[in-house]
Amino acid sequence: MIPVTKPFLPSREKLDQYLDGIYERQWLTNNGQLVQELTRRLEEYLEVDNLLLVANGTLALQIAYRALGVSDSRSDQHPEAITTPFSFIATASSLKWDGIQPVFVDIDPKSWCLDPDRIGKAITDRTRAIVPVHVFGNACEVEAIDTIAQRYDLKVIYDASHAFGVKYKGESLLKHGDAATLSFHATKLFHTGEGGAIVFKRKEDLERAKKMINFGITGPETIEELGINAKMNEMQAAMGLCVLDEIADNMSARQHVWEFYKDNLTSKCQFQQWNSNATQNYAYVPMVLGSEDKTLSVVKGLGDINVGARRYFYPSLDEVDFISTASGGVPNSRMISKKIICLPIYSSIKDKDLSKIISTINGFDEVKG
């Protein structure tokens, strides 16, 4: 079976060395030595400040909402946040879970990111934030979104789960917004098995979030903040340090896979229009076909030869009953979600397997049409 992705597993010898150190120190969690080291190294690699490691990417979003005051209700009104329906469920469910109503605004049909031109009409007196997604690592129109946020005094929290290492106009994309969150799930380009991070614009927001991820505890007998347990542990950090050591080789191998597909499938499908100011990190290979029927046929055809292809993201989140709210319609998101598939990409996939996948897709008549 050729899966849609495989976790990148770094040198076992190096991982064992980190694990030996954990056993010697017997310090497993609560801001241990490896968590501190990974924090420093990620800030250096990503060229950011105010990075906070957490247990997973969903908690990263929830802590960001809390630290930035988005979750706070005013009088009897429940807060709202404008976001995209074309994303993984956690983007919207994390808002809903925290008592914030997601208000869906449609995406640009080419970039697949939140369309800034549609945001203004969705803003109400309950709107507290904009939560855009750098979809598949593609940079949103950050300047336009920032202008809107300043005009209406809104917070911006970017779901940057897919955007590890992406640069925008020569600087880290993660510097945009009041916060940007990352997922370090096992399937990501960079991972810690499970894990995540938040990059805050302001130091004071980082310091508040540090308290929140440890139950609000600031000393042996001091609790200053409403908190939860969202800390990364030493085992996760050990994996992350090893993966970071090999990130260049991993990304280079994925670039080869991404370009192999792009060179041989462009005429058969629509690829995402990449932001011309942003770099590519080769995290995913999404493509849109001509219709939902053709998409289902290709998924089945690939499945018949033991190739996993995921309809990702499907469904459009406005169609999830317990999340949805009236938003004036999101036809682009619904259209793209019905016709999209993500193809297998991971560093160890073989060229012969890529050729088999491409040959199968090219065997379908008028896939794009």
Q: Looking at the annotation, which residues are catalytic?
A: 188
Query: Hey, is 280 helix, strand or coil?
Result: coil
| Strand-pair partners of 229 | 214
Calpha distance 152→198 (Å, rounded):
24
Q: What angle do CA 132, 341, 199 make, to 5 degrees?
A: 30
- Of the candidates 245, 282, 279, 283, the residue with the CA atom closest to the CA atom of residue 41: 245
Query: Hey, is 213 helix, strand or coil?
Result: coil
The count of other CB atoms within 10 Å of the CB of residue 245 is 13
> Position 230: which residue type?
A
Q: Which two tokens stand for residue 125?
A: 């007196």
Q: Tokens 């209406």: give the residue.
A: 152
Beta strands 179-183 and 155-159, pairing class: parallel
Q: Which two tokens stand for residue 8?
A: 């990148």
